Amino acid sequence: MKEKQTSVALSPYQRSVHLHGRIWGWTALTLMLMVPLAISVYFNAWPPLTAVFKALLGVAPLYWTVGIIEVFTFVPMLGTGGSYLGFVTGNLTNLKVPAALNAMEAARVRAGTEEGDVISTIAIASSSIVTTVIIALGVLLLGSLQPLLESPALKPAFDNILPAMFGALGMVFISKNPKIAAAPLVFMVVLFLLVPSLSSSVSILVPVGAAIAIGVARVLYKKGLLGEGGKDSP
Amino acid sequence: MEFSVNHPVLYLIAGIVVAFVIAQSAFFLVKALRQARKLNMEAAVIRKTVFASALFSIAPAVSILVGVITLSQFLGLPLPWLRLSVLGAVTYELPAATLAASTMGATVTETITRAQTFSVIAWVMTAGILSGLILVLLGLKKIQGGMSRLGGKDRRWGQILSDSLFLGMISAFVGLLFAKVRLGLPGFIPIAVALVSALLMAVCGLLIKKLKWDWLTQYAMPISMLGAMALAIPITALMA
């Protein structure tokens, strides 16, 4: 498939994705805010502002920062359509971003091209529909599903979703770029060995890993040590 | 109005938002599929992208459902169902709900009975997660413009840059596998599962290359992931 240079000038498709993405996104945002509003109105249960502020003071500084970091880290991977959709449907790190990466890799298109954008959007949309439908069915059928889902026999499988996902993804991307991968990998492994408690803030470490990888890649690239197409030379 | 965490109105509200999310996903799916046709992308590749992404999402979706069940013990079903079907993740919702409950003198060990406490939790969960979406809505064009200038006119460097971003993310999660090794042998279970998954992926890669099984390309990832999850059961039994 032909690769195109990312351009600041937008194609008609990109322009239309921006327009529709904003319309759907602002509607989604309004709808999300209507939920607590509806609860407050319907049950006549307006929250004490001090309680909301006090709780937000505990969560917002961290989660708002993470949200902003996620935008800068994931937007170049997800493309335009994928970003508008992914930032409404959520579960980015544990589902949508890996789904998009895998789909682009398998379809042999690159992030930042129009083909990459299309594949990423298709992957995220399919993933969102399946996920939302499964959760909805699960909620409907909860009575019969709960014993199965919480059965001790299946627990190890569900406990290991992330290793199962990143083992395979790692195999693909690390074997493609071992020279770029080495430094951030060593850094992260050592970091988690020394400070295991960082597990709960792994999303903050994603941009740290990216910064290390980009720094190393820049040096290697300048020295001519990276081959054609951004891959390590054979 | 008598309040209950499983009040039918809450189901109705959650249902509306969930239907909206599905509609938005369907809209973008159709739009991207049309554009794929215009770009003359192979129909088989597109079809496989849809099916493979769907297959890939089943296991994480079930794990999100387990998160809904966990939260439902104190928030009822509709609110966690809603929160985990849109922007959010259980790793965020639980701390946010816990903190919000505590400011109202409630704990996460029992079902919320006061409407006002529930309302505080709903406001905090919602307001705490919106920064990413707002930033995307206000500034996606500018951010993308800035990012593509970072890549500059050098196409190869642009590709290296996006590969480096992927590797940054992957390395953070590979590092995470090592967080529990201090626990001894059971702490190595995630590493063993990741290695099994990588091995399955390598086998798929070999089959694709040597036997020209191109159809496997899109399915290699869901197969490796689900295979490794299944094997996590005997691995855990051996190592725990």
In sequence order, the 6+-apart residues with CB closer than 8 A to the CB of B184 are none
User: Are the Cβ atoms of B89 and A93 closer than 8 angstroms?
Assistant: yes
In sequence order, the 6+-apart residues with CB closer than 8 A to the CB of A40 are A46, A47, B119, B123
Q: Does residue B146 lie in a domain region?
A: no
In chain B, how many domains are there?
2
pLDDT > 90 fraction of chain A, expressed in percent and rounded: 41
> Do both B27 and B109 map to the same domain?
yes
Q: Using a CB-CB distance cutoff of 8 angstroms, which residues of chain B are in contact with residue A117?
A: 32
* Cα distance between residue B103 and residue B100, in whole Å: 5
> Do both B183 and B112 map to the same domain?
no
Least confident of A168-172, A179-183, A197-201, B39-43: A197-201
- Does pLDDT of A77 surpass 60? yes
> Do both B83 and B160 map to the same domain?
no
Entry field: residues in chain B: 240
* Cα distance between residue B167 and residue A212, in whole Å: 10
Q: pTM of the full predicted structure?
A: 0.79
- Does pLDDT of B61 surpass 90? no
Give the pLDDT score at A205.
84
Task: Point out the residue among B82, B149, B163 whose CB comes nearest to the CB of A180.
Answer: B163
Least confident of A136-140, B99-103, B208-212: B99-103
In A90-177, which ranges are continuous DSSP H helix?
Answer: 97-106, 114-140, 142-149, 155-159, 161-176
What ipTM score was computed for the predicted complex, to two decimals?
0.80
- Does pLDDT of B162 surpass 80? no
Give the pLDDT score at A65.
79
Chains A, B: CB pairs < 8 Å:
558
> Do both B21 and B97 map to the same domain?
yes
* Cα distance between residue A82 and residue A42, in whole Å: 35
User: Are the Cβ atoms of B218 and A110 closer than 8 angstroms?
Assistant: no
Q: Does residue B65 lie in a domain region?
A: yes
Q: Using a CB-CB distance cutoff of 8 angstroms, which residues of chain B are in contact with residue A87?
A: 87, 132-133, 136
Nearest CA in chain B to A50: B103
Q: Which domain holds residue B177?
A: 154-239
Give the pLDDT score at A231.
47
- Residue A151: band (very low, low, confident or very high) from pLDDT cuts 50, 70, 90: confident
Task: Point out the residue among A29, A138, A153 whose CB comes nearest to the CB of B130.
Answer: A29
> Do both B116 and B12 map to the same domain?
yes
Q: Does residue B141 lie in a domain region?
A: no
Q: Does residue B143 lie in a domain region?
A: no
Task: Point out the residue among A47, A84, A106 whose CB comes nearest to the CB of B52.
Answer: A106
Instruction: Give the side-chain half-sphere CA count within 13 A for A125.
Output: 27
> Do both B119 and B18 map to the same domain?
yes
Report the amino acid identity of residue B88.
Answer: G
Confirm or reject contact between A7 and chain B (CB < 8 A): yes
Q: Does residue B148 lie in a domain region?
A: no
> Do both B22 and B113 map to the same domain?
yes
> Do both B80 and B190 map to the same domain?
no
3-state secondary structure of B147: helix
Nearest CA in chain A to B70: A150
Q: Does residue B112 lie in a domain region?
A: yes
Give the pLDDT score at A229.
44
Q: Does residue B140 lie in a domain region?
A: no
Nearest CA in chain A to B33: A122
- Does pLDDT of B183 surpass 60? yes
- Residue B150: band (very low, low, confident or very high) from pLDDT cuts 50, 70, 90: low
Q: What is the DSSP string of B56-90?
A: HHHHHHHHHHHHHHHHHHHH-SHHHHHHHHSS--H
Q: Using a CB-CB distance cutoff of 8 angstroms, which residues of chain B are in contact with residue A58?
A: 99
Q: Identify which of B125, B140, B94, B146 has the alpha carbon closest to the alpha carbon of residue A68.
A: B140
Give the pLDDT score at B151.
62
Residues 135-174 of A with CB under 8 A from B: 135-136, 138-139, 142, 145-146, 149-150, 153-154, 156-174
> Do both B114 and B163 map to the same domain?
no
- Does pLDDT of B160 surpass 80? yes
Which of B79, B114, B129 is the endpoint of a domain? B129
B1 or B132, which is more confident? B132
Token pair, residue A135, equals: 């959760």
- Does pLDDT of A183 surpass 80? yes
Interval A29-50 mean pLDDT = 92
> Do both B97 and B167 map to the same domain?
no
* Cα distance between residue B9 and residue B15, in whole Å: 10
Which of B129, B146, B179 is the endpoint of a domain? B129
Q: Using a CB-CB distance cutoff of 8 angstroms, which residues of chain B are in contact with residue A32?
A: 17, 86-87, 126, 130
> Do both B111 and B170 map to the same domain?
no
Interval A113-137 mean pLDDT = 93
Task: Point out the residue among A169, A206, A230 whose CB comes nearest to the CB of B168.
Answer: A206
> Do both B92 and B186 map to the same domain?
no
- Does pLDDT of A202 surpass 60? yes
Q: Does residue B134 lie in a domain region?
A: no
Residue with tokens 């599929």: B33
3-state secondary structure of A232: strand
